[in-house]
Amino acid sequence: MDPMEAIKQTYFQECEELLLAMEEGLIAIQSGEADSEVINAVFRAVHSIKGGGGAFGFENLVAFAHIFETVLDHLRSGTLAADEEVATVLLRAGDVLADHVQAARNGEILAAEHDREIKQQLETLSGKEGGCDAAGDFDGIDFKPAVIALDDLDPAAQQGWRIHFAPHAALYAKANEPALLVRELATLGETAVTSDLSRLPALDVIEPDQAYFAWDIVLKGDIARDKIEEVFEFVVGDCELDIQPLETPAPETPEGLDVETMAPQPEVAAGQPEKKEAHAAAEAAKQTIRVDLDKVDRLVNLVGELVITQAMLSQRVAECKIPRSSPIGDGLNELEHLLRELQESVMAIRTQPVKSVFQRMPRLVRELAAQTNKKVRLVVEGEGTEVDKTVIERLGEPLTHMIRNAVDHGLETPDERAAAGKPEEGTVTLSAEHRGGRIVIEVSDDGRGINRARVREKAIERELIAASAQLSDEEIDNLIFMPGFSTASQVSNISGRGVGMDVVRRNIVDLGGRITIGSAPKSGSRFSLTLPLTLAVLDGMVVAVGDQTFVLPLAHIIESLKPQPQDIRPFGHGRHLLNVRGAYVPLVQVSELMGIKGAAKPLDGVVILVESQGTGRLALVVDAILGQHQVVIKSFEGNYRHIDGIAAATILGDGRVALILDVDGLVGRCRSQLADAELQPTGT
């Protein structure tokens, strides 16, 4: 790969992180949390995107980011108030900046009309202020002029740096602003700025596209050199920059020029050493390295193979009848413990917060609200919940469809909500949490709920079900996942084509998860996605059924028991229920589900009580429990095809392949069979 192309890809990866940080800060500003730290974080994100874009010649991106950056600078200097109108413009500007980044990534250029309106709004907010006047002074920045003699300073206060900064013409051509760089320096400590006009020629020979001004800056305080270099990192090749310790003798100040000072930002102001130390500690804690994901995947696979090898060793030791209390057994126990820690550590490298996906949704909601003329508020909860990166990468499309469905179909118009006694602004809630060894992501709204009569009518109209079909509420709700289904009266940019929710279910099933629906008329709907935390390793119970071996995910297992004859009751046509301490649970033989002959009957086998998120409990009959093991997941669909009731496969310690049962799928299928059995008379 071309080295410059590799650097460019790194830039776009960093842009993803910067855009997320920017979005988070802009939402905080909109929520009234516009403190200096938040505003500075947004400013730095936009400035970094602009600087990198300038290095690669993305002129349109740089030009837009410059206008955006100018408004943010007025905001952090206090010359512009962060009111609701300003926050709305900034959020829209953030969306357009993201569009510019994506266009640059795809080698495209956005049409001029795409950002014309928001540019005008930004220019109105900035009042076209800022920059430098002919005398080299900074307009729009609140410096407090004062002549400073360094000899008069307290010796203890002379710790710091002397910086000479002389921009080249290329710096301005890339829409960089020296005033903003100087302001950034002021966040590090107290600064004294001197204008250097020694390169300014006579008026009749001035070239308008050249740069003549320079500045000498004294930065006082205990500041690391690399912090100063970070401020100028995107303009290093476009300026003369000299950074020397303050103890170095100062050059003579040109006669007749003033010296200007800028007080440091509050977070690093003198007299606040505790905050400075905390700030420095936080910066050390954020240190990261970039690693190619393929390298991490190879590491994960190797750890998986180690787990299989450890299981094989344990199997061989057991076959040789070597006691676990022997030195070899002790070594194997220690190996198993270390491997588990290694596996957890490696998997932690692959995990990341769902925040990276969730933060794409506010923009989607804003656009949908504008298109549907609805007032919508998005509430995000649990965005710090961590899950495997592979799962996160495949969550974007399902969540997009679900949010779109909630806004377009779930929420009423402001007039409809007012007539129903609801606030005009509808609420969509997006949440994530760990539950039972899995991650549960929910999208809910406080809208009209699912109109089951209309859903049924549309399904019959589109010949998806027979007119005589008798369906439960749950079955009617699940019709919306059928390909080609839509309740929209006409096709729009948002919905009506019957494509969307079927994609959601297909993607979630491909991830080894399930989706369930809860809805109440006039109160709203809730869609719950239940997904595995990782697609690599799980803790499972190994069971025997006839001559076959299966694995049940431990997260689904409640208990195991031996059934008694009086606890088994017939139900419907050939079905049975098991009385578990007064609660009746469907009793199902795994051998019947899997078509295995020669398996034990319920009274001769072991019952494992399992629970599925949203669909209840099931009593599975197996021949015997062989043990509890950590197993490496091998994708079944990736190597063969999807099989209902089977989640994946694994390799056991003896080298055999065992199928991992999909408990959610089994429970759902058995519930449907029991619903059919209710319609059949007993004994027929």
Q: What is the pLDDT of residue 136?
A: 40
Q: What is the pLDDT of residue 250?
A: 55
Helix axes 361-372, 84-105, angle to 10 degrees: 110
**Better-predicted residue by pLDDT, 315 or 543:** 543
Task: State which H helix or E strand residue 334 sits in.
Answer: helix 327-350
The pLDDT of residue 4 is above 80: no
The pLDDT of residue 200 is above 50: yes
Out of 276-290, 326-340, 530-544, 572-586, least confident range: 276-290
Instruction: Determine the Cα–Cα distance for residues 130 and 137; give it in Å rounded to an integer.
Output: 10
Q: In the structure, what pLDDT confidence band is assigned to residue 74 with cuts at 50, 70 and 90? A: confident
CATH topology of domain 354-532: Heat Shock Protein 90 (3.30.565)
Q: In the structure, what pLDDT confidence band is assigned to residue 275 with cuts at 50, 70 and 90? A: very low
Please state whether the predicted TM-score (pTM) of the whole model is above 0.75: no
Q: What is the pLDDT of residue 422?
A: 93
User: In the chain, helix, strand, coil percent, each to 5?
Assistant: 45, 25, 30
The pLDDT of residue 417 is above 90: yes
What tens digit of pLDDT does each residue of 291-304 get? 777 888 788 888 87
Q: In the structure, what pLDDT confidence band is assigned to residue 682 with cuts at 50, 70 and 90? A: very low
Q: CA-CA-CA-CA torsion for 107, 109, 115, 116, nearest 10 degrees?
A: 170
**Better-predicted residue by pLDDT, 442 or 388:** 442
Q: How confident is the model over 127-139, as a mean pLDDT?
A: 44
Residue 230 has a CB neighbour count (10 Å cut-off) of 14
35's CB contacts (< 8 A; 6+ apart) are none
The pLDDT of residue 629 is above 70: yes
Q: Please, what's the b/e burial string for 529-556 (b: 16 or more CB within 10 A of its CB; e: otherwise)? A: bbbbbbbbbbebbbbbbbebbbbbbbbb
The pLDDT of residue 72 is above 80: yes
441 φ/ψ angles, rounded to the nearest 5 degrees: -110, 130
Q: In the structure, what pLDDT confidence band is assigned to residue 287 with cuts at 50, 70 and 90? A: low
Q: In the structure, what pLDDT confidence band is assigned to residue 81 with cuts at 50, 70 and 90? A: confident
* Angle 302-307-309 from CA coordinates, rounded to 5°: 90
* CA 283 and chain centroid, separation: 22
Q: What is the pLDDT of residue 543?
A: 93
Residue closest to 279 by CA, chosen among 190, 188, 191: 188
Q: 221 with 270: CB under 8 angstroms? A: yes
Instruction: Determine the Cα–Cα distance for residues 201 and 253; give it in Å rounded to an integer.
Output: 18
Instruction: Determine the Cα–Cα distance for residues 174 and 278; give it in Å rounded to an integer.
Output: 35
Residue closest to 613 by CA, chosen among 534, 538, 514, 475: 514
Mean pLDDT score of the chain:
79
Q: In the structure, what pLDDT confidence band is assigned to residue 407 with cuts at 50, 70 and 90? A: very high
Bridge partner residues of 219 (DSSP): 161, 191
Distance between first and last Cα of the chain? 71
**Count of residues making up the chain:** 684
Q: How confident is the model over 475-481, as a mean pLDDT?
A: 83
**How would you classify the pairing of strands 375-381 and 425-435?**
parallel
Written as one string, the DSSP assignment of 176-242 is: --HHHHHHHHHTTSEEEEEEE-TT---GGG--TTS---EEEEEEESS--HHHHHHHTTTTGGGEEEE
CA 105 → CA 16, 61, 96, 638, distances in Å? Answer: 11, 11, 14, 30
Q: 305 with 632: CB under 8 angstroms? A: yes
Q: What is the pLDDT of residue 429?
A: 95
What class is the 3-126 domain?
mainly alpha
Q: Please, what's the b/e burial string for 127-139 (b: 16 or more CB within 10 A of its CB; e: otherwise)? A: eeebebeeebbbe
Q: What is the pLDDT of residue 672?
A: 63
pLDDT over 90, % of the chain: 13
Q: What CATH number belongs to 537-678?
A: 2.40.50.180
The pLDDT of residue 283 is above 70: no
The pLDDT of residue 135 is above 70: no
Written as one string, the DSSP assignment of 337-357 is: HHHHHHHHHHHHHHEEETHHH
Q: In the structure, what pLDDT confidence band is assigned to residue 488 with cuts at 50, 70 and 90? A: low
Q: What is the pLDDT of residue 442?
A: 93
pLDDT over 70, % of the chain: 82
The pLDDT of residue 443 is above 90: yes
What tens digit of pLDDT does each residue of 230-274 get? 888 878 778 888 888 887 555 554 444 444 445 444 443 334 444
Q: 197 with 257: CB under 8 angstroms? A: yes
Q: What is the pLDDT of residue 269?
A: 38
Q: How confident is the model over 103-126, as a mean pLDDT?
A: 89
Q: What is the pLDDT of residue 554?
A: 82
Q: How confident is the model over 413-440, as a mean pLDDT?
A: 89
315's CB contacts (< 8 A; 6+ apart) are 652, 653, 654
Residue closest to 586 by CA, chosen among 487, 506, 669, 649: 669
Q: How confident is the model over 11-29, as a mean pLDDT?
A: 87
Residue given tokens 């049962």 in the structure block: 661
Q: What is the pLDDT of residue 535?
A: 65
**Better-predicted residue by pLDDT, 407 or 297:** 407
The pLDDT of residue 127 is above 80: no
Six-digit token string for 84: 């609701």
Residue given tokens 């002074």 in the structure block: 137
The pLDDT of residue 145 is above 50: no
The pLDDT of residue 142 is above 50: no
Q: How confident is the model over 13-21, as a mean pLDDT?
A: 87
Six-digit token string for 382: 């649990």
Q: How confident is the model over 494-506, as a mean pLDDT?
A: 62
The pLDDT of residue 650 is above 80: yes
